């Protein structure tokens, strides 16, 4: 498919994504912040975890939705948690039709250093060559990857709130029909980021969090996660003020402790900050919403605040901004005890009033029951007293003021 065809395919949704320049000093090679021209920006992202089992001579078809638009799409594929090389000889990108099907005529092959085959060592990632043409904003794309041989440990993002698809045996990456894709999955396989070239003032906000940021409790396949709601708000702004969103939540994740293993909650926020957030192109603001799992695991107020301070120090040392998200209510959940609620309240007081974060997103105030502030509002409760439903995710996505997430 030609560059012109790709442009025509997305013309109705095309966004020329530009953002306001921040006030944090940027070096001349800093991407996506100052100056003219274009820079690389992460328009979609996911954090690496581990899926159980192995994959053998089959194709996985992942579905993602862009936030901002841009040019020259690159896909970052991850074998960060693998224990043997990941080999693929066929990777294709298209525009999703429905389910595993691709809009006819939109499937295009990716290359890596000019080759259609890529071998990714254990612990490593690979970024594709740029795919010429425009990429629309808020558009669902398919990324299909044929696995050569049998994998070892699978790097994946669990509880994606988006179905992906596994094929019958063989290379079906170029197939635009869904016929070969017989098995649904709730994980994104090997897919780590979608990167575009956008006008240089654009920035990416990375949302670092747990299952509430992954938006467990929202409706699958509908992009109702709160970071998606936030992305849609930015898409309504005039072009010079739009921001990209990269969702770096992992279900069960904690600020402190934890390592990645099959069935785990991923490496801790402190352990994965560099890999999942700071190495993604264009990230200028980190919005952190983590801590409930730490409280459940027995962390004290002092320990959790010390963890936040390390995140703040490291993000600032990288020349970026960090915004603190207040911890949402848990009063009718399995986590709650009066003692743990006291820690949540103390932590939220630190986030709101310490002045150590560059800004505050008050998710607690946006979702709590006014008559019982320890609990989620009934209209926002996904059913377990902890995870917000679609309405709760909408309230969270509408909570931050848009300029508060701009790195200034």
Q: What mean pLDDT is reported for the chain? A: 90
Which residue did the predictor score with more confidence, 279 or 12? 279
Question: Can you give the pLDDT at residue 238?
Answer: 80
pLDDT digits (tens, 9 = 90+) for 269-308: 999 999 999 999 999 999 999 999 999 999 999 999 999 9
Where in the chain are the domains? 3-14+47-192, 198-405
pLDDT at 20 over 80: no
Question: Can you give the pLDDT at residue 258?
Answer: 65
pLDDT digits (tens, 9 = 90+) for 179-232: 999 999 999 999 999 999 988 788 999 999 999 999 999 999 999 999 999 999
Look at domain 198-405 and name its CATH class. Answer: alpha beta
pLDDT at 18 over 50: no
Residue 322 burial class via C-beta count within 10 angstroms: exposed 0-12, middle 13-18, buried 19 and up:
buried
Task: Check if the beta carbon of residue 203 is closer than 8 Å to that of residue 245.
Answer: no
Question: Can you give the pLDDT at residue 34?
Answer: 35
- Which pTM was predicted? 0.89
pLDDT digits (tens, 9 = 90+) for 313-350: 999 999 999 999 999 999 999 999 999 999 999 999 99
Residues 6+ apart with CB under 8 A from 158: 49, 50, 51, 186, 187, 250, 251
pLDDT digits (tens, 9 = 90+) for 252-263: 999 998 655 544
pLDDT at 2 over 50: no
Q: What average pLDDT does this structure show over 79-99?
A: 98
Which residue did the predictor score with more confidence, 165 or 39? 165
% helix, strand, coil for the chain, step of 5: 25, 30, 45
What would the two tokens of residue 400 be? 């931050």
Question: Can you give the pLDDT at residue 257?
Answer: 82
pLDDT tier, 56 (very low <50, low <70, confident <90, very high otherwise): very high
């Amino acid at each position: 498919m030609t560059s012109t065809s790709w442009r025509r395919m997305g013309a109705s949704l095309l966004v020329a994504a530009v953002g306001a320049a921040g006030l944090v000093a940027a070096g001349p090679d800093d991407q996506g912040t100052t100056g003219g021209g274009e820079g690389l920006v992460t328009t979609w992202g996911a954090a690496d975890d581990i899926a159980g089992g192995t994959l053998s001579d089959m194709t996985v078809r992942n579905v993602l939705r862009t936030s901002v638009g841009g040019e020259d799409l690159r896909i970052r594929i991850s074998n960060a948690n693998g224990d043997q090389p990941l080999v693929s000889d066929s990777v294709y990108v298209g525009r999703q039709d429905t389910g595993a099907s691709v809009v006819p005529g939109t499937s295009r092959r990716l290359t890596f250093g000019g080759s259609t085959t890529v071998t990714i060592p254990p612990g490593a990632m690979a970024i594709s060559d740029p795919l010429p043409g425009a990429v629309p904003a808020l558009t669902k794309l398919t990324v299909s990857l044929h696995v050569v041989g049998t994998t070892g440990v699978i790097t994946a993002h669990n509880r994606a709130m988006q179905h992906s698809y596994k094929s019958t045996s063989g290379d079906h990456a170029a197939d635009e029909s869904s016929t070969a894709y017989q098995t649904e999955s709730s994980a994104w396989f090997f897919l780590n980021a979608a990167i575009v070239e956008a006008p240089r003032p654009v920035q990416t906000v990375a949302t670092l969090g747990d299952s509430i940021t992954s938006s467990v409790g929202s409706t699958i396949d509908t992009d109702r996660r709160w970071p998606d709601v936030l992305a849609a708000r930015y898409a309504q702004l005039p072009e010079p003020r739009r921001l990209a969103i990269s969702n770096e939540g992992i279900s069960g994740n904690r600020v402190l402790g934890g390592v990645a293993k099959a069935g785990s909650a991923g490496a801790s926020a402190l352990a994965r900050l560099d890999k999942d957030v700071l190495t993604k192109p264009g990230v200028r603001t980190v919005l952190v919403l983590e801590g409930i799992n730490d409280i459940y695991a027995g962390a004290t107020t002092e320990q959790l605040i010390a963890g936040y301070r390390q995140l703040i120090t490291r993000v600032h040392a990288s020349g970026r901004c960090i915004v603190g998200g207040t911890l949402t209510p848990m009063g009718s959940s399995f986590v709650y005890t009066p003692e743990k609620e006291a820690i949540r309240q103390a932590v939220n007081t630190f986030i709101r009033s310490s002045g150590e974060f560059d800004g505050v997103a008050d998710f607690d105030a946006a979702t709590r029951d006014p008559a019982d502030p320890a609990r989620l509002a009934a209209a926002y409760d996904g059913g377990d007293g902890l995870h917000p439903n679609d309405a709760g995710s909408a309230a969270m996505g509408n909570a931050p003021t848009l300029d508060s997430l701009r790195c200034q």
